[in-house]
Structure 1
Amino acid sequence: MSCEEMRQLRLVLLIFCMVTMSEALTEVADVDWRESLGLGKETVTKLHFYFHDILSGDKPTAVRVAQAATTSSSWTLFGAVMMADDPLTEGPDLNSKVVGRAQGLYGSSGQEEMGLLMVMDYSFTEPPYNGSSISILGRNRVLNTVRELPVLGGTGMFRFGRGVAIARTYRADFSNGDAIVEYNVTVVH
């Protein structure tokens, strides 16, 4: 067989393989992945709760675990990293019914503008969401009246979840850093 015939044969084999692979991928794409995992149809769940970030007092729910050498001279506290285990409640009063915990970390990520990079797991403890959680990762421009944060996943009832969390500061004490934030979350799962 000549070199030219070998090249033509390789080209025919390559095209055959590409067509075969394309057909196989199309078959995989046609499979309903939710059904194959034993999941039902997607639903939309709307959640409403209050997030209590307490930096003051004897039992703070968020503590600074790291900071840059220049953090204390920055008006935005750029470089400060906080670890949090914040209660989530039905109402804005800390004594209202606890429906879960927000656990994770956030750090001051803006040099010119106050903004936090949040990496948090919101775990719920009340039915029907008991044992389920949503994960939020995004920039929180805390001085804006309304902030939009992405829901990137979930567990339990919210498995394969995605959506958006709308955060509004209900109350903030800039002298001690304590804040109560109202959350309206829409999760597709």
Structure 2
Amino acid sequence: MARFLFNLHLFIIIFLFFVLVVSAKTHRSPQMPRPAVGFGKEKISHLNFYFHDILSGPKPTAVPVAAAASTKKSPTFFGAVVMTDDPLTETPDPKSKLFGRAQGFYAFASQEDLSLLMAMTFAFVDGEYNGSSLGILGRNTVLSKVREMPVVGGSGLFRFARGYAQAHTHAFNVTSGDAVVEYNVRVIHY
């Protein structure tokens, strides 16, 4: 009887070990990304366009939507939030071919310098990327010559996108606040 119990215990231990090994190989934690099924090889795309942030005139593309009580006294406009639906064009000329729209917001997020929190979708409306979009989320230090922000995702041809966007101010009107910003975006996608 002792031999039978020993063999039964040994069988149960081996069986449980087998179950643990098999389940460990097939179990996916919710934090682990699933492999991309049905996607081809990753590629890198470079996009270059101009962002027209128009605060003035009869049809602005950027409008202030919120501000803290102290924003008016702040030299950095800390606390102000601006919604955008800015055109993205092929050249700095606002009448050049429309490439897409920058839709989202930027918030003046620093008490020390002119730094924005940018949360935008670049929604493309022409060319091979028509119907696709890229998500940008990051810090934009406005007075720096070149600012770099992360690409945090995308849709359409840019599903699973990651990369970076570099912004360079092409023109800025101190009186109106209107700006034209050149964007160079490098993105890895399928």
Same fold (TM over 0.5): yes
Rg larger for? 2
| Alignment-derived partner of residue 150 in structure 1 | 150
Residues 42-57 of structure 1 aligned to structure 2 (within 5 Å): 42-57=42-57
Q: Secondary structure at the match of 1:33?
A: coil
What is the CA-CA distance between 1:32 and the residue it aligns to?
Answer: 8.1
| Alignment-derived partner of residue 108 in structure 1 | 108
Match 1:23 to one of 18, 22, 25? 25
Q: Secondary structure at the match of 1:128?
A: helix
Name the count of aligned residue pairs. 174
**Post-superposition CA distance 1:24-77 (Å, at most 9, x none):** 248xxxx9822x2x2111111110000000001111000000000000110110
| Alignment-derived partner of residue 184 in structure 2 | 184
| Alignment-derived partner of residue 74 in structure 2 | 74
| Alignment-derived partner of residue 39 in structure 1 | 39
Task: Indicate yes or no: 2:165 matched with 1:171.
Answer: no
Q: Secondary structure at the match of 1:78?
A: coil
- TM (norm. structure 1) is 0.85
**Post-superposition CA distance 1:135-188 (Å, at most 9, x none):** 000010010000000000001111111100011000111222111000000010
Quote the sequence identity (%): 55
Residues 85-104 of structure 1 aligned to structure 2 (within 5 Å): 85-104=85-104
- TM (norm. structure 2) is 0.85
Q: Secondary structure at the match of 1:167?
A: strand
Q: Secondary structure at the match of 1:86?
A: strand
Unaligned runs of 5+ in 2: 1-8
Unaligned runs of 5+ in 1: 1-7
Structure-1 separation of matches of 2:68 and 2:20: 53
Indicate how the Cα distance of structure 1 residues 32 and 115 shifts in structure 2: closer, same or farther if over 3 A, else same: closer
